[in-house]
Amino acid sequence: MSARYPLPAAQHSIAARFLGDRGAVREATERFGSPLHVVFPQVMAENAAALEQVLSGHGVPHEVFYAHKVNASRALLAEAYAAGLGVDVASSAELDRALAAGFAPDRIEATGPKSPAFIERIAALGVTANADDLWELDRLSDAVPDGSTVPVLLRLSGFASPAVPPSRFGIDLADTGAALEAVRRAPGLDLRGVAFHLDTADPAARVDALTEAMVVVAAAHRNGLRPSVIDIGGGFRQRFVDDPVPFQRYAQALATPGDLVWPGHDVAAPAAHKYGNHHPATDVLERFLTAEIERRPVAEVLRECLLTLWIEPGKALVDHAGVTLASVLYRKRAAGRDLVVLDLSRNQIAPADQEVLVDPILVDPALVDPALVDGRRERPGDGFFLAGRLCLESDLISRRKVFLDSEPVSGDVLAFVNTAAYQMDLSASAAAGHPPPPKVAAVLDGDRFIFTADDDHGS
């Protein structure tokens, strides 16, 4: 047998309990079908409490806005509301869902590029606008009803620090003078603060961006404006593995040519390295708050400057708050390799086509349907690839070889863990008439799970 490279996924106790519960998995798949996205609102509540503990532990005035774009689930949105969070919406549809979930306009922030129609609604409701461009400021100013104001954050980018990755979003620092002037002249715009969102978890990058953002805050004050918020966005990471070593070993093995990857593909893309992370999001936040600006901790600097810290976590709030179940249709040999074909499409599990780099869990087949265990189960083999059901050669659920302790057979259920962040929705399509998998919220009540169809949540 050639070398094996399993990539065991970290599991939250609630997800592990669900996947090991004979009645629960069977009930979920019988009632809601396969494939199926299962979300765990209780895990989200736990994640929110953990972030809150770090923030209050440092005595920093703060607000947490759930980045709704991470998952369209109504149950998770309702949980964010119940946890007392605000919400960050990126479209009119997300705004509708937030209002329906009970969020008052002053608990809603709108981020990302905005259409004129979205801007009209933001202005009419008084939702905080996190402005991506001067064009948005002009539109907002025109849309604000006479006699009222709309709170505004200037989203900044173009930071001088080389640690901060370049971004296509936000107002370039070179244009902030013009942006401040635009706000100052518009009676309907109330400058609440400045914002940024970085595509990195590196605390040094965030501290550098904060330092440069504070220069803009100071300039605003000199211009007679009174910003009091610094919004550092999201990007606090997920924790996919308990132990990073198998991931590192696998990454090394990928560096030499071999048969670990389906021909014609490359899974060693840098984006994949998020799967090697074993640090919780609370560590990223803690390291940011304790990092130093001119030898004083960030938390102390924020307190002294009377600034309120806003964060917009997506991934960190839904870390481990969902799993995706898919059934094995059949196994076959193709292109000289072992292939396991699932009733799932790659775009329903892989966000923006990123390879999922942790192993699925083979749910004990007897849990789902004892009649389907046909005795053909083999001892661990040389690994297999997972295929989807679309008419695309590229529709492989895993373009990398997967190694499990037990070989899946037709009728088994595979569970992909920790899929609630972007994986369920970001790229999902209904191609070839396969609708996106339904979602169900699973709540552990005593010793059993209670299921609610996500679409019915709150109705």
Ligand X SMILES: Cc1ncc(COP(=O)(O)O)c(C=O)c1O
- In the complex, which residues of this chain contact ligand X (CB under 6 A)? 67, 70, 88, 111-112, 197, 233-236, 312-316
Least distance between ligand X and beta carbon 46 (Å)? 16
| DSSP single-letter state for residue 435 | P
Report the SS3 class of residue 6.
coil
- Prior bond of 105 cis (ω within 30°): no
Q: Are 283 and 201 in contact (CB under 8 A)?
A: no
Nearest C-alpha neighbor of 62 from the set 71, 54, 74, 73: 54
Q: Are 346 and 362 in contact (CB under 8 A)?
A: no
Q: Return d(Cα 129, Cα 112) in angstroms, integer.
A: 9
Report the SS3 class of residue 108.
strand
Sign of CA dihedral 51, 271, 243, 40: positive
DSSP for 180-225 reads HHHHHH-TTEEEEEEE---S---HHHHHHHHHHHHHHHHHHHHTT-
Least distance between ligand X and beta carbon 112 (Å)? 6
Nearest C-alpha neighbor of 78 from the set 421, 349, 443: 443
Q: Give the residue with the Cβ less far from ligand X, 270 or 446.
A: 270
Least distance between ligand X and beta carbon 312 (Å)? 4
Q: Return d(Cα 406, Cα 384) in angstroms, integer.
A: 11
Angle at 151 between CA 80 and CA 220, to 5 degrees: 120
Q: Give the residue with the Cβ less far from ligand X, 234 or 388.
A: 234
Helices 41-57 and 74-82: angle between axes, nearest 10 degrees: 40
Q: Return d(Cα 445, Cα 420) in angstroms, integer.
A: 21
Least distance between ligand X and beta carbon 106 (Å)? 18
| Position with the least CB separation from ligand X | 234
Cα radius of gyration rounded to whole Å, the chain: 24
DSSP for 252-282 reads HHHTS-SSSB-TT-----GGGGGGG--S-HH
Q: Return d(Cα 185, Cα 327) in angstroms, integer.
A: 59
Q: Give the residue with the Cβ less far from ligand X, 212 or 407.
A: 212
Q: Give the residue with the Cβ less far from ligand X, 35 or 314.
A: 314
Least distance between ligand X and beta carbon 422 (Å)? 7
Structure-token pair, residue 258 = 């071999």
Q: Are 412 and 377 in contact (CB under 8 A)?
A: no
Least distance between ligand X and beta carbon 80 (Å)? 13
Q: Give the residue with the Cβ less far from ligand X, 273 or 332.
A: 273
Least distance between ligand X and beta carbon 342 (Å)? 26
Q: Give the residue with the Cβ less far from ligand X, 36 or 153.
A: 153
Q: Give the residue with the Cβ less far from ligand X, 131 or 402.
A: 131
Q: Give the residue with the Cβ less far from ligand X, 111 or 128.
A: 111
Least distance between ligand X and beta carbon 317 (Å)? 8
Q: Give the residue with the Cβ less far from ligand X, 132 or 407.
A: 132
Least distance between ligand X and beta carbon 107 (Å)? 16
Structure-token pair, residue 388 = 């989807």
Q: Give the residue with the Cβ less far from ligand X, 37 or 69.
A: 69
Least distance between ligand X and beta carbon 24 (Å)? 28
